[in-house]
Amino acid sequence: MKQKRPRRASGAAPATPGGLEAVFGVHAVRALLERGEAPRELWVQEGSAGARLAELVEEARGRGARVQSRPRDELERLAQGAAHQGIVAFAAPLAFADEATLWFQLEAWPRAEPPLLLVLDGITDVHNFGACLRSADAAGAHGVIVAKDKAAPLNATVRKVACGAAESVPVYQVTNLARALERLKALGVWITGTAGEAEALLHDADLTGPTALVMGAEGKGMRRLTREACDLLVKLPMAGSVSSLNVSVATGICLFEAVRQRGVRPPGAG
């Protein structure tokens, strides 16, 4: 049976409340609430969606959100093809975590497992950025590091693609990426960069200790200073005719190789 594509409603998107960003879908709205952030306004699709989403709606209302019932076509015009699942929250724009917070966290590392960090160098496409955040959250990464320059913004589209991960994974913005990598090394973090011309394969790298995985932009890869700051360069084993993968796909593969090596088991696994 042929799958239907999400319908993109025609017409101009409705205006969002001033100064706020739209957060689409059940997972993203729930992540917003779990983070302790109260949406200022919540739009819920008219009809059965209200009953289906009652628990989420009541939690948002209890946090002070103004709840409005809106027709489906209005939500679809606002979402512009995204899967809104009958619910849209309007909240303050996300902000990057600062560099000082990163160093504080690492110097007083509170967890039993070693840190696993994702470093994005030159990823400017918001869809790739959002997908990388989603993979980072799924793999249990402890944070994502980006530079102030040549990096995608942490905007509404990123939140939409990340499906809640933008609210749950800390994203640290550093002034100078190469210098930040040197400081990570001084703190005992091993820097593993990805490059198509590397000799070592991803599966040859030891990702069980404190690790920062560095992913470069599609086409250009990592910048020279970023590459020089890496302890090891690895590549994915490519068996087909294509020479590279989309950066968000490659990110997921690399992160879950770290998960595999660390022997992380899902909750409830025997």
Condensed to tens digits (0 to 9), the pLDDT of residues 12-44 reads 667 677 778 888 888 888 888 887 778 899 999
Whole-number pLDDT of residue 265: 59
Q: For the residues of the chain, what is the DSSP string, one character each?
A: -PPPPPP---SPPPPPPTT-EEEESHHHHHHHHHTTPPPSEEEEESSTHHHHTHHHHHHHHHTTPEEEEE-HHHHHHHHTTS--TTEEEEEPPP-PBPHHHHHHHHHT--SSSPPEEEEEES---HHHHHHHHHHHHHTT-SEEEEESSS-----HHHHHHHTTHHHHS-EEEES-HHHHHHHHHHTT-EEEEE-TT-SEEGGGS--SSSEEEEEEBTTTBS-HHHHHH-SEEEE----SS-S---HHHHHHHHHHHHHHHHT---TT--
**185-228 per-position pLDDT tens digit:** 999 999 999 998 899 999 999 999 999 999 999 888 999 999 99
pTM of the model: 0.83
Give the residues of the chain that fall short of pLDDT 70. Answer: 1-13, 15, 48-50, 81, 243, 264-270
